[in-house]
Amino acid sequence: MRNLHRKESQQEARERSLSLSHPKMVGADDSHGADPATYDRYRELKRFDESQAGVKGLADSGIARLPRFFLRPPEDIAADRHCSGPAAPAGLAAPAGLEIPVIDLGSLAAGGRPAAVARVLEAAREVGFFQVVNHGIPESVLEGVLAAAGAFHELPAEVKAGYYSREMGRKVKFTSNFDLYESKHANWRDTLFCVMGPEPLDPLELPLVCRDMMMEYSRQVKALGTTLFELLSEALGLKPDHLLKMDCTKGHALLGHYYPACPEPDLTMGTTKHSDPDFLTILLQDQIGGLQIYYRDQWVDVPPVAGALVVNIGDLLQLMSNDIFKSVWHRVLANHVGPRLSVACFFTLHLYPTTRMYGPIKEILSEDRPALYQETSLREFITYYDSKGLDGTSALTHFRLVK
């Protein structure tokens, strides 16, 4: 409500006045058979970047074939076939043997806490991923924030271009492929990236179309994060507030992802396999599906469950838990059907000038269980992760004491 008595900003006026105009066409190399002798990959990446229209700009221009820099290299596709049987097209059922655990948080106060802690421990240790239901965030808020993120991505390209950036330090930015110039191939995904804390974000920095919903979701998902870090602390045999005292919920970023319908989904990826560079991620996905985790040499679907949120352990929590919790690889398949929307909440102190060092928690170490990692600051960790890009290796290896 606090925004009612304020004059409309220039950016908002542009959003309104342009809302009927048409997205600009971005020039695309629409033949992936282009002559290798004359193909200038850097020039094509730059052209895409400078369009500031993201993947949605390409999709809207009506291309039938992917620009070449989106193509997965043949060795990637072959490796996939090797480890997951068939090349796991979108919608393929999970291999027998694993279902992503679904944990009910509805009865924590009514005696259900020990059982929930046990399930969280098992899921975080064995799978690294679980879904939560009865988590306290109303469905109207979940639907609202997905719709709001979608509405941002569906603004005219000219308006979104005002937010487009690759700057590390920007708190609110529209970006496509943060590792565009480093990765082996681009992903079929755009992102609205918003750092919501520790320093409270001025709501006016958020695009008007998603401002109120992002602020509301941020507040609610932070409260859920607090509950989860308490359960995770207990799962490690620590006091409930142990991870909170280590500032695990002090900051978070919201990432509103948009995966447009893809003309050649088998040739690219929505998101290349990666693990998350944070303490913990709470992910809200819509009903389209495509998220998979790598489990025992197989890609396993994380099926959309209505009203549920997906929770996964990030690299930093694997490091702090000395490998008790697992930060596992996951990816998102591209799909003929779209757009697919998701909103990820990364608990991290991204950009915050903390000097706190993070290493394996002393209380869980012993002679039999020596520290497996060196300590690192968040800045050092994130800088390393970003410089590496999503190259299919784990950033944790870099910080491991025994390689």
Which positions lie near ligand OGA, rule CB under 6 A? 255, 257, 271, 276, 283, 285, 291, 330, 332, 342, 344
Our CB check for ligand OGA shows the closer of 162 and 392 to be 392
Our CB check for ligand OGA shows the closer of 157 and 283 to be 283
Cβ 289 to ligand OGA shortest distance, Å: 9
Our CB check for Ni ion shows the closer of 179 and 276 to be 276
Cβ 33 to ligand OGA shortest distance, Å: 30
In angstroms, the CA 9 to CA 205 distance is 10
Cβ 269 to Ni ion shortest distance, Å: 12
Q: What is the dihedral of CA 49, 53, 54, 56, to 10 degrees?
A: -150
Cβ 276 to ligand OGA shortest distance, Å: 5
In angstroms, the CA 212 to CA 1 distance is 9
Is 315 a binding residue for Ni ion by CB under 5 A? The answer is no
* Pair 394, 315: CB distance under 8 Å: yes
Region from 53-61, 274-282, 348-356, 393-401 binding Ni ion, contact rule CB under 5 A: 274-282
Our CB check for ligand OGA shows the closer of 80 and 276 to be 276
Is 276 a binding residue for Ni ion by CB under 5 A? The answer is yes
**Phi, then psi, of 134 in degrees rounded to 5:** 50, 45
Q: Count the site residues for Ni ion by CB under 5 A.
A: 1
Our CB check for ligand OGA shows the closer of 174 and 361 to be 174
**Reduced to 3 states, what is the DSSP secondary structure of residue 299?**
strand
List Cβ neighbours of 249 (8 Å cut-off, separation of 6 or more).
222, 225, 226, 229, 243, 347
- The number of CA neighbours under 13 Å toward the Cβ of 103 is 27
List Cβ neighbours of 241 (8 Å cut-off, separation of 6 or more).
230, 233
Cβ 274 to Ni ion shortest distance, Å: 6
Our CB check for ligand OGA shows the closer of 105 and 332 to be 332
In angstroms, the CA 257 to CA 106 distance is 28
Cβ 366 to ligand OGA shortest distance, Å: 33
Residues making contact with Ni ion (CB under 5 A): 276
